Amino acid sequence: MKILTLLSCISFLTSASALAASRTSASYSIATETIDSAGAPSSSTNYKNDATAGGITGVSAVASPAEVVKAGYVAQLYEIVGLAVTSAQPSVNEGASIQLQPRYILDDSTFLTLDPTLVTWGAPVEPIASISGSGVATAQTVYQDTPASVQGTLGSYTGTYNLTVINVVNDDFGSYAGDGIDDSWQVQYFGQPPNSNAAPNVDFDHTGQTNLFKFVAGLNPLDGSRFLVSTQSVPGQPSQKYVIFSPIVGGRTYIVQSVSSPASSAWAPLPQMTQTDNGPVRTVTDLNALPAPRFYRVQISKP
């Protein structure tokens, strides 16, 4: 398919003829070729020529080295070679929309912008929820940044565009939404929703610790792992106490708190303490464990 865009002009066609003859010099030689000046294309082993009536304008293509010469036009003559689909940004937020822009790919590596309504848009594929007739693509809710692909067809040409749907909210995916656990964690261990085993209060592996606790603590909810806390006396230091807990996981904050009675709500961080780590085990020393008895707990937080 060719597209000819002309500026305002007045053209006078006169009869003309092209002299066919060999030409040589010290630097080059031109073999004799016959050029049709009546507007029909002509070609040889080495070139192809599309000419207009009267031989006023034309396009010549040389096979090797690859060259295209477009001569005599007040505008430009293009050959369409494909269809491209793009957008202003390579990504779209979950639940949001983005305008797709189709363009013809031309033979001189330029593009011709098209009206999106001219394109037949392919059926949406997850995580794209819909594509309107005007090329507006709307994204679904996702549990993590997810690649997406859209497709448009015009005539014999089809263009495909790859983009990314961005996960904006970590706890908004299907039946996993709003339960205090990142959707990606639930999908990792329990698969796509719905799955009642992924609920925050479920203790799937019967460890006494719920999914919500294990999510915050950074544990696997399927393998029987547990967060453990114990206390030990400090040899030779009756006023001190070791608080030992594991496993410690990156990205978490651990604060040891104490209280004189388990019925009290006045849990407070240790005012005087030291800590050492040995792999996944952390030992916190309460330097003022009196008056006895004292009760301890570990507060775990995840940003």
Residue-level length of the chain: 303
pLDDT at 72: 62
Q: What percent of the chain has pLDDT over 90?
A: 69
What is residue 11's predicted lDDT score, i.e. its pLDDT? 36
pLDDT of residue 5 exceeding 70: no
pTM: 0.71
- 190-226 pLDDT, tens digit per residue, is 999 999 999 999 999 999 999 999 999 999 999 999 9
